[in-house]
Amino acid sequence: MFVLPRGQRVSEVAAIAGFHSHVPVESNPSHHLETVWFVKVLCTLCIRTSPSLQIFKSQYFEKNLNPFLAFEVIKHVNFSFSNPELAFGFFQFTRTNLRVVHSFDTYYMLLRSFPEMGFHDLAKDVLDCMRLDGYLLDNALFEFLVMSFANAGKFEVARELFIAQELLFVRSGSDRVGKISAYVYNNFLSLLVKKNQVNEAIGFFRDHVLRSKCCFPDTCTFNIVLRGMCKVGEPDKAFVMLNDMDNHGCLPDVVSFNTLINGFCRIGNVARAYELLRKIQSEGRFPPDVVSYTSVISGYCRLGEMYNASSIFDEMINRGVKPNLVTFNAVIDGFAKTGDMSSALNIYEKMLHLGCPPDVVTFTSLMDGHCRIGQVDHGLNLWNEIYTRKLLPNVYTFSVIINALCKQNRLDEAHNFLKQLNSRGDIAPQPFLYNPVIDGFCKCGNVDKANVILREMEEKKCKPDKLTFTILILGHCMKGRMFEAINMFNKMLAVGCSPDKITIKSLVSCLQKAGMPKEAHKIRLAVAGYLDSCLSSSSRSIPDLNISAAIK
């Protein structure tokens, strides 16, 4: 990196530059060393005089600073000095004040480097200058910029790039501007859908991709839009689009149908999904695959219609389609939730027989099924089986076993599982894991133990929720520890957790029965003040505004 000698001023360097460079630097190849030296001087002047750069506003620099030298200076400032803002400043200053017509290489370098460095706004400014100077984006740079802006969430800029490229194609023809690759707009549409910009994706697809003369959508393009429509719960509209695909030279494939099947199942319309499954089979262009069957099976399982789910499960095996882990887990979970553990275990055995290894989801569903019918010890055996198979319980596995133990009043065992959970650094503790244990200890009158669990909960950075506070407030009231109940209520308000009507009425009622009318009145006032502060602040909201009725 070039730096000024100690004690040498910027004005002196400028004078030396003028002395050594009476003619354009690149006019003679033998002056290569002088060129390198001059570029270093210019870089140093940039650093020392930024952000004004007024030292360059002279006839000398206007005469001798050419696009080649400007490129070298911008490159060194951008990369060697790691100063993209200054590189852009020099680029803009020389373009505006010295009338330097920057080369395509300069534009290409800035447009490639700025997005990679995270300076998308600067890249947009450079792009605007490039258009004004009459340069065209080649396909590689166009594709790079579209995806860079889209990945940064600047979808409007990416969309403008598409529109500009379309206009260039229409005006200049394919000789100067090539057709837009399906890879680009497919990825752009996919990003929009992924970022929940589904309406924007649909609008862009209809207004630009379908109508553009330089875009030729394929089946993959349609599938992305179909996925977006189904994602927002509109499989009926997706079905209309699927039927319109052949008008645009595309035919739906198994992915198209699977997308709609899954979309209908997501909104509970499994009968329609089943019709589409039969439509695939009747048309005979391609057979339904494991995803087709699994989507319908999962849909029926979620509805608890296990007869239909089992029939399709048997059908897929008879047709030579091997169920995968997702299929088995869906059926096992469906039977477990209906309490049919005999059928759930039969599917589990079939799973092992077909060589499909179970995962933690499999065991969690089996544990849940056993616990639902009171067979908690069977669930505990499966807990041990998880570790035997070198798997790790997830947050839902813990929830299933903790809830089941609490229902059987085996609170110390449930607390031990909480301690295991607390030792796991890969699981973020949630209130729904602690609440059943806290509730169990409060109901049996052991509020001290409940308070211990609350402290453990807070030590793990797990914030108590409305249910946690309500359980503890009522638990302390039932033990006659009214001041602790009041303190817990005040803490609830202090952390911004809104009490509901049940909490307020129960606490006020208990205080009145305990002969503490003044404290009951203070609770009403505290809630009224909390309501006023929340309603007057735009940054906080009350989920249940009906709590005002509880303080009257």
DSSP string, 128-156: HHHHHTT----HHHHHHHHHHHHHTT-HH
Structure-token pair, residue 364: 């969690």
Instruction: Identify the pLDDT of residue 37.
Output: 84
Instruction: Identify the pLDDT of residue 396.
Output: 96
Instruction: Identify the pLDDT of residue 58.
Output: 85
Asked if residue 11 has pLDDT above 60, the reply is no
This prediction has a pTM of: 0.80
Residue type for position 127:
L
Bigger pLDDT: 370 vs 494: 370
Residue type for position 227:
R
How is the chain split into domains, by residue range?
Answer: 1-135, 137-217, 464-552
18-27, 115-124, 513-522 — most confident range:
115-124
* Of 458, 456, 452, residue with least CA distance to 475: 452
Instruction: Express each pLDDT in 174-226 by its tens digit.
Output: 555 567 888 999 999 999 999 999 999 999 999 989 888 888 899 999 999 99
* Of 97, 91, 82, 96, residue with least CA distance to 110: 91
> Which segments of 152-269 does DSSP mark as H helices, in order?
155-172, 182-194, 198-204, 219-231, 235-244, 254-266
Place of tokens 């806290």: 438
Angle of helix 466-478 versus helix 501-513 axis, rounded to 10: 20
Measured distance CA(500)–CA(165) in Å, rounded: 56
Measured distance CA(523)–CA(504) in Å, rounded: 8
Contact present, 89 and 48 (Cβ < 8 Å) = no
Residue 383 CA to chain centroid, in angstroms? 32
pLDDT (mean) for 251-264: 96
Instruction: Express each pLDDT in 454-493 by its tens digit.
Output: 999 999 999 999 999 999 999 999 999 999 999 999 999 8
Tell me the HSE value of 204 on the side-chain side, using a 13 A CA sphere.
Answer: 29
Asked if residue 549 has pLDDT above 60, the reply is no
DSSP readout, 287-312? ---HHHHHHHHHHHHHHT-HHHHHHH
